[in-house]
Amino acid sequence: MSADTGEKLVYMVNQIARNLTHESNPADVIARHVITFWSPRMKTTFLDWVAAHGLAGLEPAAQAAHTLLAGAGADAA
């Protein structure tokens, strides 16, 4: 896994978050979007990148979504 790919995925999560801010439960919807459309490799790359670099690069709603994804991480991977 390269840093590049991780950064791209963080960018993607943030972009998804910005487009879903008007949902009543954005964190859920973002997490569901990632689970539905991303391959396991993309999910683990994303989680690994955040584990290494922290949450600072994520939009607030994306941070909350990350928490949900990390919780589900065991079975998503």
Residues at the interface with other proteins (CB under 8 A) = 1-2, 4-5, 8, 12, 15-16, 18-19, 21-24, 33, 36-42, 76
Measured distance CA(6)–CA(51) in Å, rounded: 11
Distance in Å, CB of 12 to other proteins, minimum: 8
> For other proteins, which is the closer residue by CB, 38 or 66?
38
Backbone phi and psi for residue 37, each to the nearest 5 degrees, phi listed first:
-110, -15
Q: Which residue has the tokens 């991780």?
A: 6
Polymer length in residues for the chain:
77
Distance in Å, CB of 19 to other proteins, minimum: 5
